Amino acid sequence: MAKDTTKNILLRLETGLAERLQTVASVEGRSVSDVAREAIAALVDQRRQDSRFSELLEENLTRHEESLRRLRDDG
Amino acid sequence: MRYLGPYDVLAVAARVLRCPSEDVVRRTELDAIERVLDGVRMTSGLAEAAGVLLAGLVRARPFDGANRVVSVAVVLQFVTLNRADVQLEPVADVDELLDRIVSGEAGHREAAAFIRSRLEHHPVTAEDLQDDLRIELLLGEETLMQEWWRGTDMYERFSDPARRVIVLAQEEARGLDHTYVGTEHLLLGVIAEGHSIAARVLSPLGITADAVKDLVVEIIGRGKGGTTGSIPFTPRAKSTFEYAWGEARARGAEQVRPEHLLLGVLHDRDGVGGQIITKLAADIDQVRRKLEERMNYRERSEALVAGMLTEDTGPTWTTYGRRHHLVHELNAVLDENERLHEQVANLRDLLRRHNIDPDS
């Protein structure tokens, strides 16, 4: 990625989940955002380990590799 | 349709950017992705949904630096998950579209039209159908406790033949030992009801009860045990009712008829019913066109009778009764006319099969 900045996150969480995140953050002495990011990353990892999803993605990227490479960069 | 969730999008981004998941989470505008995905969920067709996804991601720029390539990769993954592919070549055209989206000259409609023109659908396989069924059941489990559709008020909007379709669909599900009523059972219900325009359109196209049932059994199999009491509808079946009611209203009908239900099944191409029709008839659009032709013809005839009656006198209970009676009579004549046409068409086919020109 071009920039190495951390984005603010705005999460729509159920009250129960928000409270659990708050508890974990308090116990570990971290911000709620940090704990939330870690939880989201775990879910993203889970998705990346889904064999059907990742197989389709690899096939896709291989099939369109040349086209994607030639797409112009962001202005 | 399989919609993407935020984790799917982030997983694609992490793979394209070749970075750990925590990095992509830290550097991405998550709320922007959520907003775009909310917009995608409001759509129904694949090209429209992909257009909203592409235009939304390109404009919101949630992926810093490599936004264009990640956005396109996300769209490719979304389309592939829905058994299709998008041709990116020539890439210059894609770049031009993305430029226009960034500058605000193009929106999701133009993006959808672009994708539609480059969309290639993959043939449906038995594995796809089984996968769909699994997903329908997973979704169904979440809603089984809810009342079907929107409660009894909606059911009252069904005509008697449409109610028979529902009852027959439940019987078909029960006969197959299935514990749910899906779009495939609704299709069987429409066929089993037998008297509607919908049933008459399906039969000559080879979409018969036996053919549909064989395909359901071959692909999905029978259930494991007998079911008693009311059988719940899958979310796709409920969406079919919603769509049917929308079609009925758009066509000025006061009640949902079997043909509206079939339009609903045809609309949901990813549903098991829609996919079985695609498998049997090859061209699902042709089925819809034939159905709409018949419906339009029937509606014009009914409107003609209604118009003639209201020209004579004002709307009174007497004219309402006469209209009802005449429309009923008209439908019987039209039914007979269609039946005769079908017989003539069958005879002509038979002659052709024996190398006899029916017009000679």
Question: What gap in Å lies between CA B262 and CA B199, rounded to an integer?
Answer: 9
- Asked, for residue A4, whether it belongs to a domain, the answer is no
Query: Which of B100, B41, B51 has the alpha carbon at shortest distance from B72?
Result: B51
- Asked, for residue A2, whether it belongs to a domain, the answer is no
- Asked, for residue A28, whether it belongs to a domain, the answer is no
Q: In the 8-state DSSP scheme, what is residue B234?
A: P
Domain count within chain A: 1
Looking at the DSSP bridge assignments, the partners of residue B256 are B158
- Asked, for residue A32, whether it belongs to a domain, the answer is no
pLDDT tens digits, A6-49: 555 555 556 666 777 778 778 778 877 788 888 888 889 988 98
Q: Which residue has the higher pLDDT, A2 or B341?
A: B341
- The closest CB to that of A1, out of B17, B22, B102, belongs to B17
ipTM above 0.95, yes or no: no
Give the pLDDT band (50/70/90) at residue B51: very high
Give the pLDDT band (50/70/90) at residue B146: very low
**Helix or strand (DSSP H, E) at B85:** strand B84-86
- Asked, for residue A31, whether it belongs to a domain, the answer is no
Q: Does residue B54 sit at the A interface (CB-CB below 8 Å)? A: no
Spell out which residues of chain A touch residue B34, defining contact as CB-CB under 8 Å.
12
Spell out which residues of chain A touch residue B15, defining contact as CB-CB under 8 Å.
48, 54, 57, 61
pLDDT tens digits, B287-298: 999 999 888 887
- Cα dihedral B308→B310→B316→B317 (10° resolution): 30
Least confident piece of the model among A17-26, B206-215, B305-314: B305-314
Measured CA to CA in angstroms, residue B174 lies from A42, A43, B183, B311 at distances of: 42, 39, 14, 50
Does the pLDDT at position A68 exceed 90?
yes
pTM for this entry: 0.51
Residue A8's pLDDT is 56
- Asked, for residue A6, whether it belongs to a domain, the answer is no
The residue range of the domain holding A51 is 40-75
Give the pLDDT band (50/70/90) at residue B231: confident
- Asked, for residue A75, whether it belongs to a domain, the answer is yes
- Asked, for residue A16, whether it belongs to a domain, the answer is no
Contact flag B10-A12 (C-beta cutoff 8 Å): no
Residue B126's pLDDT is 55
